[in-house]
């Protein structure tokens, strides 16, 4: 099922009074022109640096708090 079909199902299940909120939100999104640009040299360098220091795993909040000297 595509995104459009999912959205239609959700909208069909909403009560009438909530549709004005959804309508206004969609109109605002439709008006927004977000330019998508390719990453430049600096962006690519920052991405590579991040990959070197981040193995994709999270840090438990307890570990981070301990490293920062914060009590939970």
**Gyration radius of the chain over CA positions:** 21
Residue 11: other Cβ atoms inside 10 A: 13
pLDDT given at position 57: 83
12: left (phi over 0), alpha (psi -120 to 50) or beta: alpha
Q: pLDDT tens digits for the chain (72 residues)?
A: 899 999 999 999 999 999 999 999 999 999 988 888 999 999 999 999 988 888 878 889 999 999 999 988
pLDDT given at position 35: 84
Reading the block at residue 14, the tokens are 């909403």
54: left (phi over 0), alpha (psi -120 to 50) or beta: beta
pTM of full prediction above 0.75:
no
Answer whether 29's CB lies under 8 Å from 39's CB. no
pLDDT given at position 44: 96
């Amino acid at each position: 099922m595509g995104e459009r079909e999912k959205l239609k199902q959700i909208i069909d299940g909403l009560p009438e009074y909530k549709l004005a909120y959804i309508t206004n939100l969609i109109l605002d999104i439709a008006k927004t022109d977000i330019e998508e640009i390719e990453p430049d040299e600096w962006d690519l360098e920052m991405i590579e640096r991040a990959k070197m220091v981040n193995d994709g795993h999270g840090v438990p909040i307890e570990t981070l708090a301990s490293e920062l000297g914060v009590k939970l």
